[in-house]
Structure formats: structure tokens, C-alpha cells
Amino acid sequence: MMENYINNRKGIVIPISNTVLLPGVVSKLRISSLSEEQLTALEDEHTVNIALPMKQNFGQQALKEEDFYRIGVSFQVNEIEEIERGFQLTIKTIERIESKTLYIEDELIFTDYDVCPDADDINEKSLEEMLSYIKRVTHEISAKFVGGERYSKIIDDFKDLNSMIVYLSQFLLISNEEKYELLKIQSMKERSLRFMDYLMKQKEIIELQIQLDEKFSEKANKYYRESVLREHLRAIQEELNEGKDEDSKKSKDYLSKIEEAGMPSDIKEAALEELDKMQAQGPNGSEYNVIRNYLDLLVQLPWKKEEATPINLGEARRILDEQHYGLEKVKDRIIQHLAVMQLKNDKKGSILLLVGPPGTGKTSLGRSIADALDRKYIRLSLGGIRDEAEIRGHRRTYVGAMPGRILQSIRKAGKSNPVMILDEVDKLMTGGYSGDPASALLEVLDPEQNNTFTDHYLDLPYDLSDVFFIATANSTESIPGPLLDRMEVIQISSYTIDEKFHIAKNYLIPSVLEEHGLTKAQLTVEDEVLHQIITDYTLEAGVRGLKKQLAALARVTSEKIVSSKVEVPYKVKIEQLDDLLGRKVSRHDRAQDDNPPGVVTGLAWTPVGGEILFIEATDMPGSGEVMLTGKLGDVMKESARISLSLLKSRLPLNAVNFKERDLHIHVPSGAVPKDGPSAGIGLFTALASLVTGFKVDSKLAMTGEITLRGAVLPIGGLKEKLIGAQRAGITKVLIPKDNVIDLKDVPEEVKNQLTVIPVETIEDVLKETLGISLPRIEHVLPQSARAVIEGTIMTAQQAENNSFNTRT
């Protein structure tokens, strides 16, 4: 039987797992079970035995060919010893083999194989260096363990590299796959390098583990030492009656603060319970500092109600007028609110929301109100807040918990009735994983609920009804409806040029001079220079940019004065502005000297004020296509389609053959987004002017939404639009009739320079712009169009007569 095996290179497979076997090494194998056939084969000295590694340990289950790796070793059995759990084989490996096929006969696993000897690619000198290196590293590792010298002595006797690798691999934390890699590598040089990698990783793991153990042991010893010393200190203090006195002193201190804080009875009861917990914990307790921080908040919050002091409305008006120019409507509303507060016995009232463009004085109005009421002023910037805990605080169960910003601000103010500015409330980040801060504000800003506001950290009701809340926003669009419903909106519109001039002269210039260490005797800005800066170097609704330009002048002046380049006082002249401030940043459109047919002037609202815009329409031979350009929004595109449909419906039949003409409507500037329905009458008039060939007065502008039935609907932002029209040189403006009531908000100096005409229908629009009416529009059409109309009218009359005769 054996002769057959040798000639055909067949062998009996002994499955092994999690073991490193290399050629030419005497080693011991532990096998959990062997069948009688396997024992017989192993004891037969003529049998070729193959140790073939398994990919994982499958136990007693039936093995398949794919469960084995392909590279193994042939071996001869020196001794078989039966042990408690299986058998122990003393073997000597002979050579590397590669299994080709596996199959089972008589309950034995056989394999056809090829011999794959190791590649002897390492010289004697390199072999000695590798052995020496591995022994040195092994000695370093062994030195870190008690009794490791015994193993290092065994290593010193090894002269064969494979034997050393097999011996040391049993102590390394390497996987079954990594052990198989050592057998799979045919090159002795590569195998030794791979094993050295495994050995170095093991060394680093052991060193890291020892360092961690040392640190942990050091901390544990330190903690134990401190605990023992603390216990000894407590025993000594108790013996000398010192510790109890100190704890008692702290408790009495908190007790007196609780008594003096003026807390409601239920709050006081909760505070005393927390004080009892802190006393029971002791300074070394795990929650001692948490309870102490909580008690600090309780005793620092202003619980006592402030006495109601009379509000001097005259003084309040004086302060508002002194600190803010214009804004008469806003000031009147604030004074009215203060008057209601004076008359009401309970202090519940509406919460104000100041809405307007940036730089119009919303935040500074809050400070003025605080000065007028002689109250503490608090400002909370809500822009970008995305976490509900910023408003309501964190629960005390979290590490590093703290109260919300509402209670923190009131604690800082030390009064229960401050004026609290909630700045940029429209820029809250609503929704998300951290809760909704806008929803948390619902309770804060509801006069019916905020008298029992509950912060998560405080976990007790706190009365916010005495706080005068003033919110600010640039727009109400992003404010959730329920939150907006709890506030009374006061609109702050953009400043006129005249208002900006007075604000700059009376407020901004003195402030800028003081900030830059200058006086009026050192820098003088003439009125015409100030007007030029406002019109050419700012493009905004407020005055923040204007202050920046004045600050730029102040910086230049400071440098010139310090360098002795100019004489004092330094007067800024108009021709110097280009050198001092650079190129002009404001390029407002101006009314043209002449508008050709198809071109009209409209009015637009922007966040930085009103502007005029030109609406251009032209036609060309084509197939009835309508092109809209100028970066128009969906609403404005719809207005253009409504205008065209309305014009077609009002023209006599076949007056203009739109099927053979392409229409192109354009609104400059093309890079600026434009949207809104207020350009409706402008679009309609541009198309009517194009069809009739009549020009529209270049000094006439218009604004209004139109419907398919020809009605002109009201629009918003009338004040800003008329200011922009007056600045652009417009003399006549068409507005919707329903907007006449809004003219009272327009400054008198603007209304005095404009002729404002209310219109109700598109017939009124055409009468004011083209001097025609729709029923007579055929008389102003080109001759060819009139011929078509006359033919159409005759045909229509004949059809009507025939219909009448038939009915008769």
C-alpha cells in the first residue's frame, strides 16, 4: 500500500488548526480525536502523513475540501501518546507540500500533492543576524515578565530559524490566518521578516499594556491614598470639632440666603430639601458639587417682585427722540405700550417684535426703552441657535448641565423685570436632533404662560411676566406662525436720504469722532459732502454702512493729523471722496430722457430700499414664442403671461397676428434676481406700448398687480418705492387705488416732488400712460392692423344681423 502512495505522491491528511508547522522541525501536535484507521495509518512507518491546516476549527463535523488550506507539510511520527483530551503526537516535519485534490476512502482523507521545498535565499551571515535579532527582542519581552528567564534560555540554544519560529509562535497573539501565512511563504528571508513583524507588534502591545497598567495603578494608588488621608482628616476634625463647624457654617450660610431670597413657599421648600441632601452628602459626596451649583442658582435668581414705579411718558418720549431720529410711528407705538403698562394692574402684555432692514436701529431702540423705564438691559443673540437647551437649559442628570440663557441672563441682571432684547429671532435654526429652539420660545413669549416658565435645569416654575421682551428680526418669513402670533409686530421701514443725513449729522459723526479720538475742531464734514457720501457710497436701508464710510474718513484724517500732512481743521471736500473712500459703490438707476415704444419704468422694493427698473418689450418675425429674460422669478413670469393674455383678450379679433410674431420681454439688470406681482401693470403697459407704437413718458413710473379681469390690486413697500422713484428723477407715479391709504407713511418731501395717481383698472393705466382707452385702441394701431380690425368688425356685424334675423 505504501509503495503506491509514494509513487503517486499521495498521503493521508491529518487536519490541524491554529498551529505553526514548518519543514525540518520536531514538535508536538495535540489532536482531539483520532479514528482507528487514522491511528493505524500513523503507526505504519511506510505511510506518508500530511498535516494540512484547516481554515477554522470545525470540531467533529464532516470536513469538505474547501475547509482546508492548500499548503501543508509531510511528517513522520516519532511517538503517539494518549492524553486526557485526545492524543499528543511527537512528529518531525519533512517538507512543504501543496495539496492538489482531497478525497475520502475508508474514512480516511487522502490528498494528491506536489512537493514545494523552502527557497534557501538567505546566506549564513544573514541567518545568524536574524537569529540574533529575534533572540534579543525575545529577551527584552521576557524581561518584562516574572519567570521569563526560563524561556529565554531555551531560545539561546536554537540554531535553526524554522524551529525558533515554530517555538515562539505559540506565545504570540496572532490569528490562524497569520500563522498559515508563515507556512505559505516559500522564501526563508520573507518568512523571517514577516515573523519579525509579528514579534515587534507583540512587543509594542505588551509595552503599551504595561504603561496603561502603571498609569491605572498610579491613579488607583493616588485615589486610595487621598481617600485614606481624607478619612483621617475627617476623624481629626471631628475630634477637634472643626469639620462640623465648617459644614455647619456653609449650611447656615445657604439657609440665610434662602430665607433672604424671597422665594415662593413651594420654591423655598424645594431649596431646603436640596440643602438637606447636600448636608447628608458631605463635601466628599459624588453629588455634592452638583447640588451646590443648583443651590447657587436658586439663591442668585431674583425672586422678589420689583415695586411698580410710575412711567414718565414725557421723559420716555424725550429719551427716544434724543437717541433716535425719525421712526415716529415706531416711537408712538412704544409710548402707547408704555402707557398701557402704566394703567394695567397686572403686568401681562404683548411682546413687541421690531421688524426691519439691517442698520435701522432695532436693537438700540431696546436699549432706549430700558433707559426710559430705568430698568436693566439684557441682550440675547438668537442667531444660529439650533439647540433647545440654549433656551430651556439641560437637565441636571447630564454632566456639565447648566440653566438656559433666559435664566442665566435674569440671574446676571439681578432684577425680575429687565428689558430683554431677543435679537435676530428670525435666524433661529428650527428643527433638528437637538430640539426646536423656536418652539421653546413659545412659552417664554406667551403672556398667559410665562408666569410659570420651567427651565429644565431649575425644574421649578419661574415667573417671567415682569420681563419686557422685545424681539428683533429682519423679516417675518422665517419665523414660525405660532411664535409670530404671540408677538405684536412693529414694522421699521428704511430711512430716507433726508433722515440718513440728519442721523449722520446729529448721531453718527459725533460717535465716530469720539471713537477715533478726534474733535469737531479737527475734522469737518460739510453738508453737501455728507449728502454725496449717502447717495454715492452707501446702498442700504439703514445707516450701518454709512457709519463705516464715516469711520473710514476718520481713520484717514487721524493718519494725516498724526503725520502733520494737513492743517487743522481738516475739511473733507467732494472732489476728495474718490481718493478717500475709493470708487462709488452706489449706482442707482436714473430716469431716461426718452423711452422708446415697448419700454416703461417700473418700481421695485429691495432690502436696502426702493429702486426703479426698466421693463423692455420687443417683437420680431417668428412663431408666437414668448421669451422672458432678466432672472425673473415664477411670480413675475406669471405676471408677464397674465399681461399678454389680458392684452390679447382686449384687442379686437385678429388685430395683431401674434402667431407670426415672437415677443421678448427683458428686465435689466440680468444678474439680479427679481420676483413679485407688483410689476404687473408695467408689463402690461410695455406690451400695449409695443403694439400701439406709442411711447410712455420716461418720467412716469408705475407699480401694481393685475388680474385677468383687468383689475389693479394693491402692493407692498410703497414708501420705499416712492423714495426710490423720487431719487431716480421720476415726477409721476401710478399706484393701485387701494394703496392710497399707505401714502400717509411716505415723507412729505417725497410726496411734494411726485404726482401720485391712483388707478383701479387697466383702462385707467392706459389712459394715464398712452392716452388711449381699450375700446378705441384700434384707432392707434398701424394701418394694416386697422384694416384687419375693420374687416373683423364688419364680419362680426353681419353675423350678428344674420343671427338677429334668424331669431326674429
Question: Among residues 643, 678, 689, 698, which one is catalytic?
Answer: 678
Cα–Cα distances in Å, from 212 out to 95, 147, 209, 225? 44, 22, 5, 20
Instruction: Give 2-115's CATH code, choosing from 3.30.930.10, 2.70.210.12, 3.90.1140.10, 2.30.130.40.
Output: 2.30.130.40
The pLDDT confidence band at residue 784, using thresholds 50, 70 and 90, is: very low
pLDDT at 246 exceeding the cut of 60: no
Pairing of strands 700-702, 661-666: unpaired
Q: Is 721 a catalytic residue?
A: yes
For residue 187, the one-letter residue type is S
- Tell me which CATH code domain 599-785 carries: 3.30.230.10
Nearest CA among 137, 121, 159, 190 for reference residue 24: 159
Is 363 one of the annotated binding-site residues? yes
pLDDT recorded at residue 666 = 93
Cis preceding-peptide flag for 569 (omega within 30 of 0): yes
More confident residue, 596 or 576: 596
pLDDT recorded at residue 602 = 92
Instruction: Give 313-491's CATH code, choosing from 3.40.50.300, 3.40.50.720, 3.30.420.40, 3.40.30.10.
Output: 3.40.50.300
Predicted model pTM: 0.59
Please compute the mean of the pLDDT values over residues 785-801 and round it to a whole number. Answer: 41
Is 360 one of the annotated binding-site residues? yes
pLDDT recorded at residue 348 = 58
- Rounded Cα distance, 699 and 687, in Å: 18
pLDDT at 802 exceeding the cut of 50: no
Q: CB 669: neighbour CB atoms within 10 A?
A: 12
DSSP 305-338: PPPP----HHHHHHHHHHH--S-HHHHHHHHHHH
Please compute the mean of the pLDDT values over residues 344-372 and round it to a whole number. Answer: 79
pLDDT at 386 exceeding the cut of 90: no
Nearest CA among 456, 470, 465 for reference residue 404: 456
pLDDT at 11 exceeding the cut of 60: yes
Cis preceding-peptide flag for 152 (omega within 30 of 0): no
Is 57 within 8 Å of 91 (Cβ atoms)? no
pLDDT recorded at residue 404 = 85
- Distant-in-sequence, close-in-space partners of 421: CB < 8 Å, separation ≥ 6: 363, 366, 367, 377, 378, 379, 380, 470, 471, 472
Please compute the mean of the pLDDT values over residues 605-629 and round it to a whole number. Answer: 85
Is 762 within 8 Å of 774 (Cβ atoms)? yes
The pLDDT confidence band at residue 450, using thresholds 50, 70 and 90, is: confident
Determine whether 582 is exposed, middle or buried from the number of CB atoms within 10 Å of its CB (0-12, 13-18, 19+). exposed
pLDDT recorded at residue 3 = 38
Bridge partners of 525, per DSSP, are 572
Please compute the mean of the pLDDT values over residues 424-451 and round it to a whole number. Answer: 80
The pLDDT confidence band at residue 781, using thresholds 50, 70 and 90, is: low
Is 107 within 8 Å of 33 (Cβ atoms)? no
Please compute the mean of the pLDDT values over residues 612-624 and round it to a whole number. Answer: 89
- Rounded Cα distance, 439 and 671, in Å: 38
Please compute the mean of the pLDDT values over residues 638-652 and round it to a whole number. Answer: 87
Phi–psi pair at 480, nearest 5 degrees: -60, 145
Portion of the chain with pLDDT greater than 70, in percent = 88
- Rounded Cα distance, 264 and 431, in Å: 35
Is 357 one of the annotated binding-site residues? yes
pLDDT recorded at residue 712 = 94
For residue 131, the one-letter residue type is L
pLDDT in tens, 685-738: 999 999 888 899 989 999 999 999 999 999 988 888 888 888 888 999 999 999
Q: What is the DSSP letter of 117?
A: P
Residue 663 grid coordinates = 415677443
- Rounded Cα distance, 679 and 715, in Å: 10
pLDDT at 344 exceeding the cut of 60: yes
Sketch the domain layout of the chain as residue ranges. 2-115, 243-300, 313-491, 497-581, 599-785
Cα–Cα distances in Å, from 369 out to 352, 364, 676? 12, 9, 36
pLDDT at 789 exceeding the cut of 70: no
- Distant-in-sequence, close-in-space partners of 65: CB < 8 Å, separation ≥ 6: 101, 102
Q: What is the DSSP letter of 119?
A: B
Is 359 one of the annotated binding-site residues? yes
- Rounded Cα distance, 353 and 491, in Å: 8
The architecture CATH gives domain 497-581: Orthogonal Bundle (1.10)
Please compute the mean of the pLDDT values over residues 163-181 and round it to a whole number. Answer: 85
Is 601 within 8 Å of 612 (Cβ atoms)? yes
pLDDT at 432 exceeding the cut of 90: no
pLDDT at 628 exceeding the cut of 70: yes
Q: Is 732 a catalytic residue?
A: no
How does the average pLDDT of the chain come out, rounded?
81
- 117-126, 199-208, 223-232, 407-416: the lowest-pLDDT one: 223-232
Residue 631's Cβ-side half-sphere holds a number of Cα atoms within 13 Å equal to: 7
Please compute the mean of the pLDDT values over residues 514-535 and round it to a whole number. Answer: 84
Residue whose grid cell is 502523513: 49
Nearest CA among 665, 664, 644, 667 for reference residue 656: 644
pLDDT at 444 exceeding the cut of 80: yes
Bridge partners of 421, per DSSP, are 379, 470
- Rounded Cα distance, 368 and 503, in Å: 16
Residue whose grid cell is 416732488: 753
Is 299 within 8 Å of 258 (Cβ atoms)? yes
H or E element at residue 610: strand 609-621
Please compute the mean of the pLDDT values over residues 105-113 and round it to a whole number. Answer: 83
DSSP 51-116: EEEBSS--TTSPP-GGGB-SEEEEEEEEEEEEETTEEEEEEEEEEEEEEEEEEEETTEEEEEEEE-
- Rounded Cα distance, 557 and 570, in Å: 7
Residue 420 grid coordinates = 430683554
pLDDT at 60 exceeding the cut of 60: no
Please compute the mean of the pLDDT values over residues 221-228 and round it to a whole number. Answer: 70
Q: What is the DSSP letter of 703?
A: -
